[in-house]
């Protein structure tokens, strides 16, 4: 099956008892055993047909995946992945990641003896120099949150393979539609399904796909052991969202490109960051690695923080909120919102300027989105 067909059909067998076209969410905490110890499903934390349906759908659209494992959140998925490591192991991580990922690595797991080193993965040689005998996992997002840096998965996989460590890629911004990390050499690909995959800002979820059955088994075991399971209803919602992923992304990308081009000609904007722009420093790599560029645009304004805050509060169509990837357009001010947990030194080291605003372009009419920004910028300067 091709990808658009899989999005609709995979993990969607009609329910055999009633022949309802849509399988229901299996809201159950346990299963009646055929005889003691004989049961396809044992317990609701361990497994559920709604988990399996969503996993089948994600695995079907993820090139080269043998399977996928769903979790309570993207953060839960990261947690399960870290549990593949042992005390004394090290993670080598790109220096621009979602701040919550950094929080888990540095604040939750350093106390258990897992050390993380952050280095800009665009400089492969410098990055590789930071691998030690204890490095067991290389971790990078691409595109990154919120700088939209592109990390070269193929190059990172060469480094990982030569040092016999796992390569994990957080592909939340690209989704399986716009990028295929496993095909490029990653061992694990992680999604916050909260974002584009669910797509409607009404659910939290996470998933990891892999081309290695052993890793999948280990992750499923950890999901149960650590209680990182999602709710069956959330899986059902995410699967409903997934069916329109491909068409939604087309519109997200079109709108984002128009917005980025408009920002390029706006005198209040110092720098526009969108991987689909020819002016984007890694445009060639983005074009080679991605099928399209998704809906995230970052812009660095020539405005002080107070005016940026006024701008954000003057928007009518865009909503100022954390998260991204939903059908409605959202703005995030990393300096005070998603990256505010970082120390000032960390923020400066991660190159996030005070003037940066991150735009999660929705699927509304782009003319309305641009007009709203134009009006709010006028108010901000009054
Ligand atoms: C790139 C990226 N990865 C992972 C996460 C964590 O996902 P969740 O919020 O579903 O736990 C986020 C959340 O914003 C994210 O942006």
Q: Provide the CATH number for the domain around residue 198.
A: 3.40.640.10
Co-location of 237 and 276 in the same domain: no
- pLDDT of the residue at 343: 75
Q: Quick one: which atom of ligand 1 is closest to the CA of 141?
A: 1
Residues 48/235, Cβ–Cβ less than 8 Å = yes
Q: Mark whether 352 and 315 lie in a shared domain.
A: yes
Question: Which of 207, 242, 277 is the last residue in one of the domains?
Answer: 242
Q: Are residues 225 and 94 in the same domain?
A: yes
147, 352 Cβ separation under 8 angstroms: yes
Q: Is the pTM of this model over 0.95?
A: yes
Total length of the chain: 382
Query: What is the whole-number distance in angstroms between the Cα of residue 121 and the centre of ligand 1?
Result: 20
Indicate whether 200 and 253 sit together in one domain.
no
Distance, CA 267 to ligand 1 centroid (Å)?
Answer: 32
Ligand 1 pocket member 100 (CB < 6 A): yes
Distance separating alpha carbons of residues 74 and 62, to the nearest angstrom: 17
Q: In which domain, by residue range, is 319 found?
A: 246-381
* Short-list 143, 101, 350, 122, CA closest to 260: 143
In this structure, the answer to whether residues 37 and 161 fall within a common structural domain is yes
Q: What is the DSSP string of 154-190?
A: HHHHHHHHHTT-EEEEE-TTTHHHH--TTTTT-SEEE
Pairing of strands 188-192, 206-210: antiparallel
For ligand 1, what atom is nearest to the CA of residue 145?
1
Q: Is 81 in the pocket of ligand 1 (CB under 6 A)?
A: no
Is residue 84 within 8 Å of 218, Cβ to Cβ? Answer: yes
Which residue has the CA at smallest separation from atom 16 of ligand 1?
98
CB 295 within 8 A of CB 276: no
Query: Would you say the CB of residue 23 lies under 6 angstroms from ligand 1?
Result: no
Q: For ligand 1, atom 2, which residue shows the shortest CA distance?
A: 98
Pair (237, 258) in one structural domain: no
Final residue of a structural domain among 210, 242, 274: 242
Asked, as a colleague might, if the bond just before 146 is cis with ω within 30 of 0, I would say yes
The pLDDT value recorded for residue 328 is 98
Split into its structural domains, the chain has a count of: 2
Is there a single domain that holds both residue 189 and residue 94?
yes
- Calculate Rg over the CA atoms of the chain: 21
Do 347 and 289 belong to one domain? yes
CA angle at 110 for the pair 106 and 116, rounded to the nearest 5°: 55
Residue minimizing CA distance to atom 8 of ligand 1: 74
- Rounded distance between C-alpha atoms, residue 272 and residue 263, angstroms: 6
Closest Cα partner for 14 from 5, 27, 3, 23? 23
- Whole-number Cα distances in Å, 223 to 69, 70, 149: 9, 9, 30
Dist. CA 98 → ligand 1 center (Å): 7
Instruction: Report CA-CA distances (Å) from 188 to 77, 82, 249, 297, 356.
Output: 11, 12, 23, 26, 30
> Would you write out the chain's pLDDT as a tens digit for each of its 382 residues?
899 999 999 999 999 999 999 999 999 999 999 999 999 999 999 999 999 999 999 999 999 999 999 999 999 999 999 999 999 999 999 999 998 999 999 999 999 999 999 999 999 999 999 999 999 999 999 999 999 999 999 999 999 999 999 999 999 999 999 999 999 999 999 999 999 999 999 999 999 999 999 999 999 999 999 999 999 999 999 999 999 999 999 999 999 999 999 999 999 999 999 999 999 999 999 999 999 999 999 999 999 999 999 999 999 999 999 999 999 999 999 989 977 777 777 777 778 899 999 999 999 999 999 999 999 999 999 8
Domain co-membership, 156 together with 55: yes
Task: Select from 242, 274, 294 the last residue of a domain.
Answer: 242
Residues 6+ apart with CB under 8 A from 49: 23, 26, 41, 232
74: Cβ below 6 Å to ligand 1? yes
pLDDT of residue 348: 72
Claim to verify: residue 44 and residue 139 sit in the same structural domain: yes
Q: Whose CA is nearest to atom 15 of ligand 1?
A: 98
Alpha carbon of 68 to ligand 1 centroid (Å): 17
Contacts of 324 (CB under 8 A, 6+ apart): 173, 195, 295, 296, 330, 332, 358, 360
252 and 237 assigned to the same domain = no
Distance 75 CA to ligand 1 centre (A): 6
CATH number of the domain where residue 312 is located: 3.90.1150.10
pLDDT at 309: 97
144, 285: one domain: no
Residue 150: helix, strand or coil by DSSP? coil
Alpha-carbon distances, residue 121 vs 94, 118, 142, 364 (angstroms): 5, 9, 10, 35
Question: Whose C-alpha lies nearest to ligand 1, atom 14?
Answer: 323
Partners of 94 in the β-ladder: 119
Ligand 1 atom closest to residue 144's alpha carbon, by position in its atom list: 1
For ligand 1, say whether the CB of 234 is within 6 Å of any of its atoms.
no
| Residue 72, ligand 1, Cβ within 6 A | no
């Amino acid at each position: 099956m091709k990808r658009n067909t899989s999005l609709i059909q995979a993990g969607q067998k009609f329910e055999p008892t009633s022949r309802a076209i849509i399988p229901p969410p299996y809201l159950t905490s346990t299963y009646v055993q055929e005889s003691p110890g004989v049961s396809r499903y044992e317990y609701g934390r361990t497994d559920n047909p709604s988990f399996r349906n969503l996993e089948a759908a994600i695995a079907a659209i993820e090139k080269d995946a043998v399977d996928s494992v769903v979790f309570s959140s993207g953060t839960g998925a990261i947690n399960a992945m870290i549990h593949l490591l042992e005390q004394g192991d090290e993670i080598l991580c790109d220096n621009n990641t979602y701040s919550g990922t950094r929080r888990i690595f540095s604040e939750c797991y350093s106390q258990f003896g897992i050390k993380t080193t952050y280095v800009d993965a665009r400089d492969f040689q410098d990055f590789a120099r930071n691998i030690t005998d204890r490095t067991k996992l290389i971790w990078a997002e691409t595109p990154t949150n919120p700088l939209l840096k592109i990390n070269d998965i193929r190059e990172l996989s060469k480094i990982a393979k030569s040092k016999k460590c796992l390569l994990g890629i957080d592909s939340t911004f690209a989704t399986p539609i716009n990028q295929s990390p496993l095909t490029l050499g990653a061992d694990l690909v992680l999604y916050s399904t909260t974002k584009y995959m669910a797509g409607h800002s009404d659910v939290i979820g996470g998933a990891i796909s892999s081309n290695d059955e052993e890793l999948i088994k280990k992750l499923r075991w950890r999901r149960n052991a650590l209680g990182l399971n999602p709710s069956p209803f959330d899986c059902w919602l995410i699967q409903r969202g997934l069916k329109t992923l491909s068409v939604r992304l087309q519109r997200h990308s079109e709108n984002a490109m128009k917005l980025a081009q408009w920002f390029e000609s706006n005198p209040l904007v110092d720098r526009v960051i969108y991987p689909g722009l020819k002016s984007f420093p890694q445009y060639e790599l983005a074009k080679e690695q991605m099928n399209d560029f998704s809906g995230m645009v970052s812009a660095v304004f020539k405005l002080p923080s107070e005016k940026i805050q006024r701008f954000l509060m003057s928007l009518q169509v865009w909503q100022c909120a954390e998260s991204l990837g939903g059908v409605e357009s959202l703005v995030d001010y990393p300096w005070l919102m998603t990256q505010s947990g970082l120390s000032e030194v960390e923020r400066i080291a991660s190159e996030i300027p005070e003037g940066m605003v991150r735009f999660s372009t929705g699927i509304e009419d782009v003319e309305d989105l641009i007009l709203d920004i134009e009006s709010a910028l006028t108010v901000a300067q009054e």
